[in-house]
Structure 1
Amino acid sequence: MLRRIVRIALFLVGLGLGYEIALGLLWIFNFQDFFTFSLSNNQQLFFIGLIMLGCGTALYLSSPRIIKWSIDIAEWMDSSLQKVPTNEILVGIMGLIVGLIIANLVSTPFRLVPVIGIVVTVILNIVLGYVGVVVAVHKKDELSNMFSFLKKMNKEKLKPEDRIQPKVLDTSVIIDGRILDICKTGFIEGNIIIPGFVLEELRHIADSSDTLKRNRGRRGLDILNKMQKELNVKVEINERDFPEIAEVDLKILKLAQVIGGKVVTNDYNLNKVAEFQGVSVLNINELSNAVKPVVLPGEEMVVQVIKDGKESGQGIAYLDDGTMIVVDGGKKYIGDTLEVVVTSVLQTAAGRMIFAKPRINIQEKAI
């Protein structure tokens, strides 16, 4: 139905264009003044009607191609504008308005000339409108110094709170749940963005037939409900989707690029892909490792050995934050609490590992 309306509209535009062309041709061929013709002058009426009908029919028949071109151009403009910062779009619109105003002022004398006047007016509007956009975008910094209201759109002049990037959460960090506690402490600033496709993925996980997956999905939904109710920061759901992208992780990175945000995750692989694509990432696991107490070789601590290690004679203990301690010769102390001395610390991408020896053994060697 919509296409039929558009085709009819193009036909009417063609009739109007044919009218103007016929008027210009009558003027060029030095026919008698058109504005004084009477309906009895069949020659002029037939000529005008023929031109109008020809132009209207031509646009009507070519309307499917015109509609297709229009849709392609609209999609191209939409994808291109997503990559352009908002301040540049606003500056470009202002430049376009100024260019069109100048074009209409310059083309006013030409409008009295049939056909030629219309062509000149259209060309001037296109050229000066484009020039206005280009000049405004390229000279936005200089213009911002001339007009105080443009300074508000200059990214360098924004207030600190306006520069805070929104945080886009992925599925893993929501299910993990630590993001709720981190947000409560105030370390995460800016709006919290929950992509609609992430929420949909959580729903699918919560409806899974697998008990473990179902529990993880429901935990993630519970975390989101608590974040909306208990946090002081704004939590919003972004329904923008990217049908051409299949994977949820890649959609998250694309959304972060579009809105200029940071991705919050604890997925190691997503972290690496984001670094490759130039998207800023806040990794919860990296934060967790960063806030663990610093342990230096030679320090003493009290631990409980709970199991044996991979190597012969080793025992394994854990700190309260989950850091694993490998106690050399600690296998015989399994189940006991003892003092150990740190010998070395190994930091890996997966976390931190502490190597230690029982203090008793060191004292015996000293004796």
Structure 2
Amino acid sequence: MTISEKKAVPVNRNRLLSIDFWVRILGMVVLGYVGWYFSSSSASNPATEDEILAMQLLTLSGAGLGLLITHRVTLYPIRDINQRLRRSTAQEMLALGLGTLLGVVIGALLAIPLSHLPGLLGSYLPAIASFFTIYFSIVAFEYHKKNLVNFGISLQTSKARPVKEAVPMRRTCLVDTSAIIDGRVLAVVRSGFLDGILVVPRFVLNELQLLADSSDDMKRMRGRRGLDMLEEIRKDDQLRLEMPNEDVANARGVDQKLVTLALQDGHALITNDKNLSQVAELQGVQVLNLNVLSDAVRPPVGAGEMLVVKVREEGREREQGIGYLEDGTMVVVEDARERIGDEVRVIVSRVWTNDRGRMVFGRIMGSAGAFYGGKNDASNYPARS
């Protein structure tokens, strides 16, 4: 089952209703008894008619209050905690456990001197101090949970290997929506050129889901492709994928959240978005652009080299033909309009490069000016990367 094809989990509504019902009944009985107890304890003996009426009203009020709010103050918090625990990652659970343990230890140490204070301070201050130490310890461990896990990994590595053979820790890489949809990141990681942990935050997944549910056919196709690619990455045993639920406060838009999260946690950023790459690099984020990588690994083509190209279509200028190399680079061949459909040997006269890719100009081998070329207007042709 892919992420884009999630099925709703059936819920036993009768069971939930029965739990709510019995909890309400129990709350009604307990609060009704509490109302009766306090009203009867303050009444005279024997009770007057007004006191009896007050007892009845307090009992009914307590019972009604218990019927209305008991499930909200008992079942709802329990269900919320259960859902949070199910969505929590191993890092978050580790931070919660260590933070609670440290808070309990510090609170117990503080409770000893605080309990000797006179009066109410000695009675209540130890409990209050313990509560705040536990709370702030959990917050501190939660904020530094990634550093905590990385520290544990480095300790384990140093114990397992001698110092000279210690391997560097794998870096974590945030993956942008455009890189997921592109799909090449999967092949790059499998090839071993990118060794790291891929991190896809929840807000990136939400953006993919919005694209997959879009009314526009093109956006819907791109969103579904991205979700399928993400599912393929998740199923690959050779890759490590993390999908944290954390969001970025005070950040608008997915791009700004990615840059902020990369700066905050020290991630690299994998993207194909040129604007996002420039903004991230200006702020000091390491950017891994797949288009730049693709241009870097292309075989070099220089003036004077011979290529074998199949002429596929007419060019925009007179007597020109258009062909393509295996990597998609456009080749403009002079005097090749009559050779459409044929494979020809071309001598490269010039290579034109811009930020979107490269274009090669040449003449058919053996024709006049094959080594020097003529005047070619490169701006008439869109770059194909």
In structure 1, the residue matched to 2:182 is 176
Which residue does the alignment assign to 2:3? Answer: none
Residue pair 2:363, 2:369 contacting (<8 A) in 1 also: no
Q: Deviations over 1:268-292 (max 9, x none)?
A: 1111111101100111111111111
**Is residue 232 of structure 1 aligned with residue 231 of structure 2?**
no
Q: Say if 2:174 and 2:258, in contact at 8 Å, map to a contact too.
A: yes
Report whether the alignment pairs 1:280 with 2:300: no
Among 306, 315, 322, the alignment partner of 1:316 is: 322
The counterpart of 1:197, out of the listed 191, 197, 203, is 203
Shift in Å, 1:248 = 0.3
Verify the 8 A CA contact 1:301 1:339 in the aligned structure 2: yes
**CA deviation string 1:216-265 (max 9, x = no partner):** 11111110111111240211112121132111011111222222111111
Of residues 330, 337, 342, the one that matches 2:343 is 337
Alpha-carbon distance in structure 1 between the residues aligned to 2:341 and 2:186 = 35
Residue pairs, 1:77-116, within 5 angstroms = none
User: Which of the residues 253, 259, 276 maps onto 1:253?
Assistant: 259
2:363 matches 1:354: no
CA deviations 1:32-56 (Å, max 9, x no partner) are: xxxxxxxxxxxxxxxxx9xx89xxx
Separation in structure 2 between the aligned mates of residue 344 and residue 161 of structure 1, nearest angstrom: 45
Task: For residues 157-190 of structure 1, give each alpha carbon's deviation from its aligned partner in whole angstroms, at most 9, with x where no partner exists.
Answer: 8976443311111000100111111122121101
Residues 360 and 166 of structure 1: is their aligned pair in 2 closer, same or farther, counting only changes over 3 Å?
A: same
Aligned length: 250
- The equivalent of 1:241 in structure 2 is 247
> Mapping of 1:58-77 within 5 angstroms?
none
Partner residue of 2:31? none
Q: Classify 1:364/1:342 alpha carbon distance in 2 versus 1 (closer, same or farther; 3 Å).
A: closer
Secondary structure (helix, strand or coil) at the match of 1:306 reads strand
Change (3 A) 1:338 1:235: same
Q: For residue 250 of structure 2, what is the amino acid of its counterpart?
A: E
On the 8 A contact 1:339/1:359 being kept in 2, the answer is yes
- Structure 1: tracts of 5 or more residues without a match: 2-15, 23-48, 54-69, 91-148
Where does structure 2 lack aligned partners over 5 or more consecutive residues? 1-72, 74-112, 122-131, 373-385
Indicate yes or no: 2:299 matched with 1:293: yes
Q: Describe how 1:11-50 pairs up with structure 2 within 5 A.
A: none
8 A Cα contact 2:175 2:198, kept in partner: yes
The one-letter code sitting in structure 2 at the alignment partner of 1:208 is S
Q: Which amino acid aligns with 2:325?
A: L
Residue aligning to 1:9: none
Change beyond 3 A, Cα 1:160–1:269: farther
Q: Secondary structure at the match of 1:184?
A: helix
Tell me whether 1:269 sits opposite 2:270 in the alignment.
no
Matched, 1:218 2:224: yes
Give the RMSD, CA atoms, in angstroms. Answer: 4.0
Asked if 2 retains the 8 angstrom alpha-carbon contact of 1:262 and 1:280, the reply is: yes
Contact 1:184 1:231 in 2 (8 A): no
Write the distance in 1 (CA, Å) between the matches of 2:164 and 2:214: 46
SS at match of 1:296: coil
Amino acid at match of 2:243: I
Name 1:207's counterpart in structure 2.
213
Distance of aligned partners of 1:181 and 1:343 in 2 relative to their CA distance in 1, 3 Å threshold:
same
TM-score computed with the length of structure 1 as normaliser:
0.57
